[in-house]
Every structure is written in C-alpha cells, then in structure tokens.
Amino acid sequence: MSRDELAALQLSRLRATVADAYERVPLHRARMDAAGVRPADVRSLADLHLLPFTAKADLREHYPFGMFARPLGELARLHASSGTTGKPTVVGYTGDDLDRWSWLMARSLHAAGARRGDVLHNAYGYGLFTGGLGAHYGAERLGAVVVPVSGGSTARQVSLLVDFRARVLCSTPSYALAIAEMAEQNGVDLAKDSALEVGMFGAEPWSDAMRAEIEARLGLRAIDVYGLSEIMGPGVACECEAQAGLHGWEDHFAFEVVDPETGAPLPEGEAGELVITTLTKQALPMLRYRTRDITRVTTARCDCGRTHLRILRVTGRNDDMLIVRGVNVYPSQIEAVLVGLDGTAPHYQLVVDRQGRLDTLAVEIEAAPGVANDAFPAIAGRAAQRLKSTLGVSCEVRVRSPGEIPRSEGKAVRVRDLRRKEA
C-alpha cells in the first residue's frame, strides 16, 4: 500500500475504534467528555491529538475487566503482566482479536525471514505472558512447525534445537545468550552444529553490540520484535531482513512519538515516548496508550520496499532510566559499551544505591571463562574508562567470576535497586 492508502485505511479504522470505545468503555467516554471531544470530531489523522491519553494505571484502576469493550462471554482469552508491584494488568481478546494477532505475528515472522515448513523453536515463556502463545499461533499461521518448548531447562533446549533441526529461534535476547552459553559448556557450537538461521528476539531492550554477540555465537540473523500486552503482545512491530528499524504495522495501529514530560507530539525523527492507538482491537481498544518506551520513528522508505514506518530500536523505558549524577542513562546504553569488551562475557547487572542524598551506580560485569582473577582489576579499569568516555559518567565497575551474574529464562533483570530497602 502507498502511504496515502495506508493513511486512508488508518483514518476509517480510527474513527470506528473511537466510536466503539466511546460507546462501550465508560473510562474513554468520561475522558473524552471531560476533554470536550466527540467521536465525530475525529475527521483526520491529525485529530488523533485531540484524544486523551490512556496509561497502565488506568488498567490497574479498572482491574480486572473494567476497560473491556466486550462482555466476558464474547472473549476468547485473557493474558496478564506479572507486575512487580500491586495488581497485574489484565488484557482480553475476542476470537477475531486472536485471529488478527496470529496474522500480524505471521507477518512479522515472514519479515524476519521465517518460512512455511521451518522448524521454529519457541523459547518464549508460555502462560499469562504474551510471548509464548503470541509467537506460537503466529508461527502456526505462517505454516511453520512449532516446538513449544517455553523457557527453562536450558540444557534440554540445546539438544532439542540441534536434534529437531530448528531453523528459527524465538526467545528474549538474554535467554538466547544463556542458551548459547549452555551449548558451549556442553561442547556444542550452535553456529556450526545447528540449522539455525533466523532469531526473533524481543520483550526487552537490547543493543547492537548484543545483536552482534548473539549472531556470532548462534550463527543466525538476529531480528528485533516489539510489542506489549496492553496493545496486543509481540508483533506490534518487527524488523525485516534489512535490520534497519522495526516496521510498525500501521494498518492495525497508529503510532505517535510525544515529549514524555509535556505529552506534546514531536516531529518525525525526534526521540520521545511511543504512544500507540489500536485500530482493529475489539475486546480492548486503546486510545493513545502511553507505552513509556523511548524511541524515534521514520517514514523513509525501507530497502525492503515495505511502506510501514520504522521504529528505531527501543532504547529503554522511561521508568528504567537512571539518573547518575545528573546524566540520564538507560541500561541498554551501558550494555552497548560493555558487550564485546576484551576478557568479559556479555552478562551484566547495574546496582543502584544511595549514599547520603546521592544515587550511586555500580556496574557488575562478568569475566570470560578462563580469565585469571589477577586480570580483574585491569578489566574493571578498561570498562570504567569506556563508560566514562561514552556516557560521560564515572561509575564503579566490579568484575565477577564466570557464572556469578544470574542468567535469565525470560526478561533479564538488568537493574538491582538497593534504594528500596530504605523505604
């Protein structure tokens, strides 16, 4: 579709979604009434800006089903985010929602290079998390042969990957590395001994340095996939084989980037908070959902020929941003500096603490297997110097022995915040 055709389709779907949300969801109606906006006021895509925002807190306050636009009896499935504090966020799908999600995940997988008949090893967690089932049904829709292994039992994952000749691996990027590491410990070189060619990784921020590391150790092309349960799950946006940003599927979602402080829309290319409006969701239509994810978008045509805009790597979440002596840093920026450093393994954790009234940041990195303990201080020194010159902050670097930093089976825990213990 040309961008004009895409825009026309977006507008007609937006108008239908807004009318439906106003009609069926008391929260949307109340917010729009308070803002003095009627569904009929949405006459162009630019009028999207008239609509009030929604946020994760709205879902929590209307726990569990208060934001659904369909009665429970018309739903086919529920998912929920674990949520570190308070109640989980619950999301619902009609049968048609699940059908569209499967198509969008199939489309994403195809863009990533997966094909009908491929054996697809799905190591995203199955359950309330959207990763496992989202990838599963998308892969089936594509015509792939799904191995529904879920996360965990990493040694067994390695044998199954090799024995079943999987061509495609789906997992979080951090778990992909844990699988690679387990393989190496068991004398298996996945780059040589497996049939892997495509990896579809997401659910957490990761850097290009991490991508290079994963590609080398697993012998595949690592593709970034993005999504969030409040909007659908995985497959809201996905890279194509050009690996030049994630195509946001604009026939089903409208994307905006806003200033995280003021909420004002930002011009194309500027970094800000991604805001998403669903255009075809039935059970849980979302108007201008504040994702908290920081990124930039471009509508420049991709080499692959797709006209969908591209979301340039999500660098991190607004709430994950650390302010270290006045400098804003995201864990993934630190990752980009650390991964690939001589003598280290690509595992790290950031420890935030407080001394007096000042926040402190310590970076824990892991020595590569076989590196002698007396080399640790020199490694720490090199890492600290790189961090200082790239990010402009000095921080303490601690080098841990191989295997000491916890491995993830799903989303990695990158930040240990010790400040909470004071509260």
Q: Rounded to the nearest whole angstrom, what is the least distance from the CB of residue 55 to ligand DLL in the complex?
A: 12
Grouping H, G, I as helix, E, B as strand and the rest as coil, residue 147 is strand
Q: Rounded to the nearest whole angstrom, what is the least distance from the CB of residue 423 to ligand DLL in the complex?
A: 24
Q: Rounded to the nearest whole angstrom, what is the least distance from the CB of residue 104 to ligand DLL in the complex?
A: 12
Q: Rounded to the nearest whole angstrom, what is the least distance from the CB of residue 39 to ligand DLL in the complex?
A: 27
Considering the complex, state which of residue 130 and residue 349 has its C-beta at the smaller distance from ligand DLL. 130
Spatial separation of the C-alpha atoms in residues 283 and 71, rounded to whole Å? 8
Considering the complex, state which of residue 214 and residue 367 has its C-beta at the smaller distance from ligand DLL. 214
Considering the complex, state which of residue 132 and residue 285 has its C-beta at the smaller distance from ligand DLL. 132
Grouping H, G, I as helix, E, B as strand and the rest as coil, residue 230 is coil
Spatial separation of the C-alpha atoms in residues 308 and 1, rounded to whole Å? 9
Considering the complex, state which of residue 14 and residue 203 has its C-beta at the smaller distance from ligand DLL. 203
Q: Rounded to the nearest whole angstrom, what is the least distance from the CB of residue 189 to ligand DLL in the complex?
A: 26
Considering the complex, state which of residue 81 and residue 307 has its C-beta at the smaller distance from ligand DLL. 81
Would you tell me which residues interact with ligand DLL (CB under 6 A)? 81, 124, 130-131, 202-205, 224-229, 233-234, 291, 293, 314, 317
**Residue 91 β-bridge partners:** 79
Contacts 24+ apart (CB under 8 A), 370-375: 371/343, 371/402, 373/401, 375/343
Spatial separation of the C-alpha atoms in residues 415 and 409, rounded to whole Å? 16
Q: Rounded to the nearest whole angstrom, what is the least distance from the CB of residue 290 to ligand DLL in the complex?
A: 10
Angle 411-416-422 from CA coordinates, rounded to 5° = 140
Residue with nearest beta carbon to ligand DLL: 202
Considering the complex, state which of residue 109 and residue 228 has its C-beta at the smaller distance from ligand DLL. 228
Contact between 366 and 348 (Cβ < 8 Å): yes
Contacts 24+ apart (CB under 8 A), 261-268: 263/53, 265/49, 268/297, 268/298, 268/299
What are the backbone dihedrals phi and psi of residue 129, each rounded to the nearest 5 degrees, phi first?
-60, 140
Q: Rounded to the nearest whole angstrom, what is the least distance from the CB of residue 359 to ligand DLL in the complex?
A: 22
Q: Rounded to the nearest whole angstrom, what is the least distance from the CB of residue 30 to ligand DLL in the complex?
A: 25
Q: Rounded to the nearest whole angstrom, what is the least distance from the CB of residue 242 to ligand DLL in the complex?
A: 16
Considering the complex, state which of residue 92 and residue 202 has its C-beta at the smaller distance from ligand DLL. 202
DSSP code, position 207: -
Q: What is the dihedral of CA 308, 10, 251, 247, to 10 degrees?
A: 30
Grouping H, G, I as helix, E, B as strand and the rest as coil, residue 260 is coil
Contact between 202 and 225 (Cβ < 8 Å): yes
Considering the complex, state which of residue 45 and residue 78 has its C-beta at the smaller distance from ligand DLL. 78
Residue 363 CB partners (closer than 8 Å, separation 6+): 334, 338, 348, 349, 350, 351, 383, 387, 395, 396, 397, 398
Spatial separation of the C-alpha atoms in residues 331 and 396, rounded to whole Å? 15
Considering the complex, state which of residue 138 and residue 285 has its C-beta at the smaller distance from ligand DLL. 138
